[in-house]
Amino acid sequence: MTVEEKRGIMGREGGPGENFPVGMRVLAVDDDPICLKVLETLLIRCQYNVTTTNQAIKALNMLRENRDRFDLVISDVHMPDMDGFKLLELVGLEMDLPVIMLSANGETKAVMKGITHGACDYLLKPVRIEELKNIWQHVVRRRKLDRKERRCLDNGEDCEKLQAANSEGTQATDANGPVNDNGKVNKKRKDQNDEDEDDYEEATHESEDPSNQKKPRVVWSVELHRKFVAAVNQLGVEKAVPKRILDIMNVDKLTRENVASHLQKYRLYLKRLSAVASQQANMAAALGGRDTSYLHMGSFNGFGNFHGLTPFQPSGVSNRTNPKLLGLPGLAPGMVQIGQTRNNTNIPMNDLSKFQHIAVPVNQHENLFQGIPTSLELDHLQQKQKGINELNNHLQGVFSGPSNSNLICTTNKSLLLQGHQQQTQLRGIGNQPPVAIRSTGVDRLEMSSVVSVHLPDLGKCSETWQNTPSLNAYGVNSLSTGVPYNDDSMISSNMGTSLTSTVAQLHGNPLNMSSNNLLVTTQDSLIRHDMQCQTSSLGGTTLLMSSGIADPKFLSFRSLGNVEQKSNDPKQQNALGPNIAFSSSCNSTLSNQTLLNNVAENQRLKNRIYNKKIDTIMINQPSFDTAFITQYAKTDKSHCDNRLTFCEDNMFGASKMQGDFVSNNCNFDDLMNSTIKPERDDIGFVVDGELGSDLFSLSTCL
């Protein structure tokens, strides 16, 4: 290995050489010595320079000490000291190197997870030499894209089109081609830039051939990123331009290009989160069926200072003081999506205060950070809507009990829940509710439908629920992963209920409230129907909205918790288990805002509530300490029929958000109060690493 290291060091630094891909410097990380040895030999056979290590930490250190030492990283997924996905994210964010994941597990979920975390490829063990012969394309592609991005961002153009165009990897693949093409492309871009540049002082820089230019890589440490995020927040994520960010950050040795490319990545990341959030929101909408018009971006604005990155301030939204619903940036986009998808439900976003978001980052691997990448969830949502409608019908009369007005479900969650088909975890929840809410196959949906069942008294809740959608925007993601929810639609109803409780008027039915809560988003049909059911104790569940990171499942989870069928007493209703609070704040700045933790301690939903213990673990986004908190929920079946198996062990520096609600014992009074009283600013976000309470799956709401 020493020899190889030396070879690696002696290799070129910076751009590709003439013999590329020969001599490409690869770092291989795998805890299995056999695979590592075989991989190493194969790579040597492909004429790459290989460095190997069996520990992820060592690999990171190697990468950090000299960013230009490697061109590509290949990493195993399952490693004892650090999760492969986490390593992947860290490398991607800090060093901007292409990372290839390697695993024996080829299931679609796992692959999807890899891709959403930013892997540029996912290989299955056993690795074949033919596959390894082609991995150099990722290096080339990234280089090209980086250059284009930087130029674009500097110009303030929207480089995404460019990216989209390039993302298919259509660059010339012959070894010498890339260099030339880059040169040509760069020149072209320069010309275009020159034509419409406004303050593009550095045009002269770009005129040099970028492929020959060696730019020392900037390491985006946590501190640096925090500053960056703060600057972006200050400017507004949509309006942030690299130059201004740079000025605000006031860090020397940082060039605009660095900032520009980092900004690009950051935006993509937010998009991803919001996609997840929107899914959740869709789920919620499905449950609630309210008009999700508010979901539009405009509604975000209505929420006060909500804008991309800043925490969601419900101020505009509701008269009630809303606890800091996290205005997760991710939500915004999600919200928009929600709005688009459907909705008949009007979930007034106003009463955010009433909403307590349940951010249940159940997701095992997916910390909120990942979110659900696609907006195909929206499509799913639509499907679900139909299903939800059916479910709603079923739900009528099924649920009874006090509705929990406190239930604030982040719409995102519901949406995400609904939308996200991949979130099979929600399935587990779905099974729970007795009401046969059949979602159209999305697990999440089920959650929403379930939620809707327990709607708190409409009277109280109606307005508040409306707000939830906004909250839902936050990555309900938390729920998305890992929890295997059964396919019953119950989950959706649960979601709905939780959400609905916060939703003010659901169609005038008392049940509407419940439906609102989760759904906030688009699905009003569900909610409406749900409304008809008696709103039950949605009460206790407080949803934690995490800024974009909340696992949708969690959200729904929470909402389930809120749905308590039996009593009108809000306290009781929150038998819905644990509040899974996740707040994933995109930025460090979000820490205060973010979590709406829904610590649904009301566990133990007597009837059919899934009582699963959900231990939520806050998972922080790897690079930002406070930023992302994802909870990892472990469920242990206690009362529920459904099995929620959250098996994820995602632990990235968990940070706990302290909120009013402490897990396990839902403070229903507080919940109720919080939702009702606008003055309350802090709706307890309690994010505990260990919810410990019997978290029931969402389906238990019923």
Partner 1 sequence: MASIPGPDACPPTVRLNYPTAKLSLFLLLSLSSGPHYLIKKDRERKHRKPASKTGLPVWMLGMGAGRWEEDMSHLLALLFRQGVLDEHFMQLQQLQDESSPNFVLEVISIYFRESEKLLRNIRTLLLDRECTDYRKIGVYLNHLMGSSSSIGANLVRNVCVAFRAASEHCNWAGCLRSLAVLEHEYCYLKNKLHELFQIEQQRVLAAGVRYHPLLQ
In the bound state with partner 1, the residue whose beta carbon lies nearer, of 78 and 215, is: 78
Site for partner 1 in 480-539 (CB under 8 A): none
Least distance (Å) from partner 1 to the CB of residue 104? 4
> Binder to partner 1 among 61, 66, 105, 173 (CB under 8 A)?
105
Element (H, E) at 498: helix 490-502
Q: Which range touches partner 1 (CB under 8 A), out of 99-107, 206-214, 264-272, 369-377? A: 99-107
Report the nearest approach of partner 1 to the CB of residue 693 (Å). Answer: 21
Nearer to partner 1, 4 or 625 (CB): 4
- How far is the C-alpha of 384 from the C-alpha of 548, rounded, in Å? 22
Cβ nearer to partner 1, comparing 63 with 119: 119
Nearer to partner 1, 40 or 564 (CB): 40
Shorter beta-carbon distance to partner 1: residue 32 or 669 = 32
**Residue from the set 9, 22, 104, 165 that interacts with partner 1 by CB under 8 A:** 104
C-beta of 78 vs 217, nearer to partner 1? 78
Residues 6+ apart with CB under 8 A from 445: 283, 286, 287, 380, 381, 384, 387, 388, 417, 418, 426, 430, 437, 439, 489, 491, 492
Q: Least distance (Å) from partner 1 to the CB of residue 126? A: 4
Which residue, 42 or 654, is less far from partner 1 as judged by CB? 42
Q: Which of residues 542-561 bind partner 1 (CB under 8 A)?
A: none
Show the 3-state SS of 118-144: CCCEEEECCCCHHHHHCCHHHHHHHHH
What residues contact 411, with CB distance under 8 A and at least 6 apart? 280, 281, 284, 285, 292, 295, 334, 335, 338, 347, 468, 469, 470, 471, 472, 473, 499, 518, 519, 520, 521
Strand, coil or helix: 260 = helix
Return the range that interacts with partner 1 (CB under 8 A); candidates 64-72, 100-108, 223-231, 401-409. Answer: 100-108
- Distances in Å between the Cα of 174 and the Cα atoms of 21, 164, 228 are 9, 21, 37
Q: How many CB atoms lie within 10 A of CB 298?
A: 14
Span from 12-20, 120-128, 341-349, 510-518 in contact with partner 1 (CB under 8 A): 120-128
Among 12, 647, 651, 653, binds partner 1 (CB under 8 A): 647
**Of the candidate residues 6, 126, 158, 196, the single one contacting partner 1 (CB under 8 A):** 126
Site residue total, partner 1 (CB under 8 A): 21
**What residues have CB less than 8 Å from 261, skipping those under 6 apart?**
96, 146, 149, 150, 153
Tell me which of 49, 51, 53, 103 binds partner 1, using CB under 8 A.
Answer: 103
Map tokens 């034509």 to a residue: 195
Distance in angstroms (rounded) separating the CA atoms of residues 281 and 296: 12
Distance of alpha carbon 293 from alpha carbon 291, whole angstroms: 5
Residues 59-78 that bind partner 1 (CB under 8 A): 76, 78
Query: Per the structure block, which two tokens stand in for 57?
Result: 């930490």
CB of 40 to partner 1, least distance (A): 10
How far CA 525 is from CA of 197, 406, 507, in Å, comes to 49, 21, 9
DSSP class of residue 67 equals G
What is the footprint of partner 1 within residues 21-50 (CB under 8 A)? 32-35, 37-39, 41-42, 45
* Binding flag, residue 651, partner 1 (CB under 8 A): no
Q: What is the dihedral of CA 401, 404, 408, 412, to 10 degrees?
A: 0
Selected from 28, 93, 127, 325, the binder of partner 1 by CB under 8 A is 127
Rounded least distance, CB 28 to partner 1, Å: 13
Among 125, 217, 265, 386, binds partner 1 (CB under 8 A): 125
Closest CB 37 distance from partner 1, rounded Å: 6
Contact 613, 635 (CB under 8 A): yes
Least Å from the CB of residue 45 to partner 1: 6
- Tell the smallest beta-carbon distance from residue 646 to partner 1 (Å): 11
Q: Is the dihedral of CA 637, 639, 643, 648 positive or negative?
A: negative
Nearer to partner 1, 101 or 281 (CB): 101
Count CB neighbours of 170 within 10 A.
9
Query: 524 or 648, CB closer to partner 1?
Result: 648
Which range binds partner 1 by CB under 8 A, 124-132, 191-199, 436-444, 601-609? 124-132
- Using alpha carbons, list the distances in angstroms from residue 213 to 11, 150, 179, 254: 17, 13, 12, 16
Between 42 and 260, name the residue whose CB sits nearer to partner 1: 42
379 vs 649 by CB, closer to partner 1: 649
Binding residue for partner 1, selected from 1, 22, 129, 165, defined by CB under 8 A: 129
Nearest distance from C-beta of residue 107 to partner 1, angstroms: 11
Pair of tokens at residue 603: 């566990």
Amino acid of residue 409: C
Name the amino acid, one letter, at 641.
Answer: D
Least distance between partner 1 and beta carbon 655 (Å): 25
Residue from 6, 128, 188, 239 that binds partner 1 (CB under 8 A)? Answer: 128
Taking the complex as a whole, the smallest distance from the CB of residue 702 to partner 1 amounts, in Å, to 25
Distance from the Cα of residue 138 to its chain's centroid: 25
Nearer to partner 1, 32 or 157 (CB): 32
Compute φ and ψ for 134, nearest 5 degrees. Answer: -105, 0
Cβ atoms of 456 and 502 within 8 Å: the answer is no
Would you say 498 and 429 are in contact if contact means Cβ atoms under 8 Å apart?
no
Cα–Cα distance, 559 to 447 (Å, whole number): 8
Residues forming contacts to partner 1 in the complex (CB under 8 A) are 32-35, 37-39, 41-42, 45, 76, 78, 103-105, 125-129, 647
